[in-house]
Amino acid sequence: MTGETAMFEAALKPQLQDLAIFGRAPAFAEALHVGRPNVGSRERLLERINDMLDRNWLTNDGPFVREFEKRIAQFVGVRHCIAMCNATVSLEIAIRALGLTGEVIVPSFTFIATAHALQWQEITPVFCDIDSKTHTLDPAQVEKMITPRTTGIIGVHTWGRACDIDGLEEIAHRRNVQLLFDAAHAFGCSYRDRLIGGFGSCEVLSFHATKFFNSFEGGAVLTNDDSLAEKIRLMRNFGFHGYDRVIYIGTNGKMTEVCAAMGLTSLESIETFVEINRRNYDDYRRGLADVPGVNLLAYDEREQSNYQYIVCEVDEAAAGLTRDELVQVLTAENVLARRYFFPGCHQMEPYRSYFPHAHLVLPETEKLCRRVMLLPTGTAINRDTVSQVCRIIGIAVAQAAGVKAQLAKTH
Ligand SMILES: Cc1ncc(COP(=O)(O)O)c(C=O)c1O
């Protein structure tokens, strides 16, 4: 090799010292977050806020909330959308309105709100394992967890990828238990060509600021069941049926007008948000294609997706680094990669103390919790950013031994 070629090759070779864990300045001056809010037209939002102030109608089933509910129901193709202050309260109300008691089967690999919505009402969340490929409830495991106390199953459409709805419906029907879905991630996603929202007894969406589509805070229950919708609507407003009559235990789950104004504004930009997420996903796919052991989770091209999560599974044997080591490398660069849903609901309190042996029946959940890493996407992320993030991951994996040694020194 001539001296010139050697220099040329060295210049091309990713340099370990390029990484911030070696003391170099972080690649990004400002932190890159997973779930930075997408904001649509500021003008339209402010116009709506002005209208709201002119009307002096700030909450209590106002015109924006009604319009928002109508638009969401039309968009998804369901009979009813009941908008709420957030998805957690939506889940709590749905669970109560369906009359669930005793035990309800849920994945442990989910956001803690799915489990808390049950435990808050003294219903036992029975944690069930997931399928390692789909990251959603494994129907074969669900079947094994059913006992005489089981009244329901809550499937979670994790990352917007639908669970095995057919499989779960079959079990729910045969074993005579209710089926509902935590669809917090799945607005705009489909299952067998039908948009999520109309499956099971009801489905719950989240419009939290970190979701690709937000109403600041917000959620909704979607259902095709008229009487369930009516009950949920009343429970959302303390159980009031008319001015002075209360017929259920209810709570305050109302969405405010300003949140609905934001939701309506987000709805006008939903295609752009999905397009940008899709572009980022494609760029990550290309950028990580040759990085061994960092496997980007694919979205099913036959279905509609919102592409809001860039989910990687880190295989330590192939990458030479653990997921946590890679997260450390990225954090040093100001790329705030996240470990969802680490360490799993069953490892969080009070569930860890209530069910100390749960991990024995959750082997896939335990494995996945150690492998999953989410990367930043959304409208705050441009193509150049994605390519730099991929480059950092590529360097770290290519020089895994050096990275490991450096991390061991500094931690
Ligand atoms: C799967 C899942 N369920 C429920 C929730 C709760 O949603 P919210 O923040 O709207 O209450 C979230 C929020 O991130 C979630 O990811």
pLDDT tens, position by position, 207-248: 999 999 999 999 999 999 999 999 999 999 999 999 999 999
Q: Distances in Å between the alpha carbon of 48 and those of 64, 265, 319, 341?
A: 9, 9, 50, 36
**Residue of 123, 120, 139 lying closest to 131 (CA atoms):** 139
Q: What is the mean pLDDT of the chain?
A: 96
pLDDT of residue 8: 46
Q: What is this structure's pTM?
A: 0.95
Atom of ligand 1 nearest to the CA of 217: 10
pLDDT tens, position by position, 253-288: 999 999 999 999 999 999 999 999 999 999 999 999
* Binding site membership of 87 for ligand 1 (Cβ less than 6 Å): yes
* SS3 state of residue 245: coil
176: left (phi over 0), alpha (psi -120 to 50) or beta: left
User: Do residues 191 and 167 touch, judged by C-beta distance below 8 A?
Assistant: no
Q: In what order do the strands lie in the sheet with 178-182?
A: 80-84, 219-223, 203-206, 178-182, 150-156, 103-107, 124-128
pLDDT above 90 covers a percentage of the chain that reads 95
Q: Distances in Å between the alpha carbon of 243 and those of 251, 254, 257?
A: 16, 16, 20
* SS3 state of residue 25: coil
pLDDT tens, position by position, 176-198: 999 999 999 999 999 999 999 99
Residue 18 binned pLDDT confidence (cut-offs 50, 70, 90): confident
**Beta-strand relationship, 32-33 and 335-336:** parallel
pLDDT of 7 strictly over 50: no
Give the CA-trace dihedral at 153, 298, 194, 62, to 10 degrees: 80
Distance 191 CA to ligand 1 centre (A): 20
* Binding site membership of 114 for ligand 1 (Cβ less than 6 Å): yes
Give the CA-trace dihedral at 237, 241, 246, 248, to 10 degrees: -70
User: Do residues 134 and 161 touch, judged by C-beta distance below 8 A?
Assistant: yes
Atom of ligand 1 nearest to the CA of 117: 4
Atom of ligand 1 nearest to the CA of 218: 10
Residue 169 binned pLDDT confidence (cut-offs 50, 70, 90): very high
The CA-based angle 243-233-183, given to 5 degrees, is: 160
**Beta-strand relationship, 219-223 and 80-84:** antiparallel
Q: Which two tokens stand for residue 173?
A: 């029907």
Cα 304 to chain center, whole Å?
A: 16
- Best of 33, 88, 180, 306 for a ligand 1 pocket test (most atoms within 8 Å of beta carbon): 88
Per DSSP, 151 falls in state: E
**Residue of 143, 146, 97 lying closest to 121 (CA atoms):** 97
**Residue of 153, 30, 161, 6 lying closest to 94 (CA atoms):** 153
Dist CA 226 CA 216 (whole Å): 28
